[in-house]
Structure 1
Amino acid sequence: METELGPDTLLGRHLRDRRFLFVLPRAVCLQSLHPAIATGITEHALLHRRVWLHHKRTVTQAIRIAFTDVDMRPYIRFAHEDVKGHEPSGRKYHALNPDLFHFQHATYVESLVLMVNTFIRPLDDDEHEQLYRECCAWYRRYGISTRPMPADWPAFCEYFEDQCRTQLSAGEHFEPFRRQMFAPTDWWPRAVPRRAIRAMQHPRAAELTGVSAGSRDRRSLRRFAVTARLLS
């Protein structure tokens, strides 16, 4: 039975919450550490020098796709069919490769769950599973093969950690984005304290970039979460 996506679902309540935009530095840093994703942005995105403006366009469109009645599958293929080339290592990439496309989506899913657990309230096991099922329904709207998509939330967690461990690296593909990852100057991420940005990074991103969070950073994230909750 297909999962319905509407305003009363967990995804409907949380994906359009402004606080999701505040945690995007976690997702986008992981994407920037992926050689194919980072190279694709550098070579094909008009706004690659102001990466948060690029993500403002792409993330806004991704959120719209989750809830629109319009079939966006032709648009997705048209927008990505020419995004291809070679990583710095020489390996070929194509934006429509299901493994690549799904990992990019997965970074949003993982960061969305972090946002709810950190900025709103901890989800229980059933709610984690429900939100994940709804994120799977969101992904199906892209019209890309679901072959890489894990069957349930525990499998997704295992998949995500494996991808972060085996597919990410901090090479020349990441360096053009380093400054903007931890000190955004555009869109909603620029409102997030820099210490909070360090504290919200995935452990693999912290390891690869050498930017680790201390106690002051974690306190900054907790204070920012309280402030964002009061203003929501």
Structure 2
Amino acid sequence: MAAPSHGSLLRRYVSDRRYKLAMPRAAALQLLHPAIAAGAAQHSQFPDDVWIQLDRALPLTLATARGSSRTGRRVRDLHGHVTGKDDLGRRYHALAPEIFHWEHATFVDALFTMIDVFDRPLGPAERERLYQECCDWYRSYGVSDRPLPPDWHAFTEYMDHMCETELRLTPSAEALTGRLLEPCPWKFRRMPEYAVRGILPPRVRTLLDLPWTGDDARRFRTYAIAVRTRHRLRLGL
């Protein structure tokens, strides 16, 4: 993968500090996948803290997104030993294309969510352009791109299908998601609990039995406006 150009939407947005505000979404979507939850529980040095795990993994992921193929191969190789059986008794390997791609897809989904919520809605052409840059990001890992949806529309259908049919609250996931609403070691530890719930997909809130009221939705919209305003002021816009 060649390094994205300075006009790259991917480089622009993965370098945006607001991206980390969407990480609870990526973390939840990963941990509700039985294979990824089992791999995190069985192989992580920090099996009881999803935020320490993510804090250690994210810099490599972002470096790959910015165009470092060497880092992408390193990320791939770090997954080579992650294998076993999930809580449903099914064998898994972290480098199985369907599993590895799902992990990538959660970061892509979180990226688009961050932009929509905390920046601005992208137009159709920009959305497709960014998605294609995310496809190049995935290919830089050197894992089969067989599961990769070819375009943005196919990606949204893929996400909907996965959320409805593949995600489950397994015992491993339940143990790891216990602190999902409390990102204490995370850079944005002051992110309000309702905002963490708000950034999650509705399907995730249902699986985790998290409440979501009209008042929560109003507070989350106010929070998003405040984030956008602070970002514009910081940039002098």
Give the match for residue 44 of structure 1.
43
Q: Which residue of 2 aligns with 1:28?
A: 27
What is the CA–CA distance in structure 2 between the aligned matches of 1:116 and 1:149, rounded to whole Å?
21
CA displacement 1:7-53 (0-9 Å, x = unmatched): 32111111111111011111111111111101101111102222211
Instruction: Please name the residue that 1:154 is paired with.
Output: 153
Report the secondary structure of 2:99's partner residue.
helix
For structure 2, which runs of at least 5 residues remain unmatched after alignment? 232-237
**TM-score (normalised: structure 1):** 0.93
Cα offset for 1:4?
Answer: 6.1
Matched with 1:127 is: 126
**Superposed counterparts of 1:186-225, under 5 Å:** 186-225=185-224
Separation of aligned partners in 2, 1:44 and 1:157: 30
Report if the CA contact (8 A) 2:118-2:225 is conserved.
yes
Q: Which digits, 9 at most, give the CA deviation of each residue in 1:194-214, with x for residues without a partner? A: 001111211211121111321
Partner of 2:75: 76
Measure the CA separation in 2 of the matches of 1:26 and 1:77: 22
Query: How many correspondences in the alignment?
Result: 231
**5+ long unaligned stretches in structure 1:** none
What letter corresponds to residue 7 of structure 2 in structure 1?
A: D
Deviation at 1:165, TM superposition (A): 1.2
Q: Could you tell me which residue of structure 1 aligns to residue 141 of structure 2?
A: 142
Q: 1:220: Cα distance to partner?
A: 2.6
The alpha-carbon deviation at position 70 of structure 1 amounts to: 4.9
Native 8 Å contact 1:170 1:209 kept in 2: yes
Counterpart in the other structure of 1:61: 60
* Secondary structure in 1 matching 2:84: strand
Higher deviation after alignment, 20-29 or 5-14: 5-14
Specify the alignment match of 1:173 in structure 2: 172
TM-score of the aligned structures, taking structure 2 as reference length: 0.91
Cα distance 1:67–1:213, how it changes in 2: closer, same or farther (>3 A)? same
Q: In 2, are the aligned partners of 1:102 and 1:148 still within 8 Å (CA)?
A: yes
Distance in 2 of aligned mates of 1:103 and 1:56: 19
Counterpart CA distance in 2 for 1:158 and 1:84 is: 28
Shift of 1:225: 1.9
Query: Comparing 209-218 with 191-200, which one deviates more in the overlay?
Result: 209-218
Q: Cα deviations across residues 43-100 of structure 1 (Å, max 9, x unaligned)?
A: 1110222221110111111000122445235423421111000001110010000000
Sequence identity of aligned pairs in percent? 37
